[in-house]
Amino acid sequence: MCTIIAVHREGSLTIAANRDEFYARPALPPALLEPGIVGGRDAVARGTWLGLTPRGLFVAVTNQRTLRPPDPTKHSRGELVLEALRRGTVEGVLEHLRAVDGKSYNPFNLLFGDGHRLFVAYARDELTIEELAPGVIVLANDRIGAEDYPKTRRAEALLAEGVPLETILADHQKADVPDVPGSFLSHDMLRELQALCIHTPLYGTRSSAIVRLEPGVVHEYRHAEGPPCTTPFVDFTELLR
């Protein structure tokens, strides 16, 4: 998952998220992953990028941008999402994360909440956790508010204009970005990655999700099994009943 938009209000949480990945990496659509946990399945590492429980716990992960490709010997970040969901509550997730060694994973951002409280955990060697105040939060592949991620400001602006979430997730506008010295990604690729809905020959937006929940209940879970610019959203809320 590479972009997560969270509208965090007192007593409610709305999520709109795009999963960006290599086309060659197989994945499965939302299903009951194990008792009490619903989400898509990464068919390689068997974890998930976004998951929910019927009691309204939400957990999702994005990668953090790095200069080098991910280290395949490290633990799966998608498995960390499952481990968090198994805790069942925000307090359980917090307790679990305090014992996690950030160095054992490739860098990541973990967003989690329950409609009452919302947190983000950043891991780049050390793992830090922040509680987020109510408002609009856009998390991509860096810390919230990172200056060189124009796609996050684009999403915020579209949301302020009243653009529907489905349309925001399907937005293709790109912005120029500064070079990242030492990066394995070319400048052209860095620019392509600033679209909310990404299309490149090998990598792009593979699926999308829209979630609406309150403490104790998920009101809506819709999923598009493909880029949201061309793929309709299907309602999977019944999986959480």
Q: Tell me the pTM.
A: 0.95
Tell me 100's DSSP state: -
How many domains, in total, are found in the chain?
1
Q: CATH number of the domain that 51 lies in?
A: 3.60.60.10
In the chain, where does DSSP find H-type helix?
77-86, 90-97, 150-160, 165-169, 187-192
Q: What is the pLDDT of residues 60-78, one digit of tens each?
A: 999 998 878 888 899 999 9
Amino acid sitting at position 159: L
Tell me 231's DSSP state: -
Q: By residue range, what is the domain housing residue 35?
A: 3-240
Q: What is the pLDDT of residues 143-190, one digit of tens each?
A: 999 888 899 999 999 999 999 999 999 999 998 887 777 788 888 888
Q: What is the pLDDT of residues 12-66, one digit of tens each?
A: 999 999 999 999 999 999 999 999 999 999 999 999 999 999 999 999 999 998 8
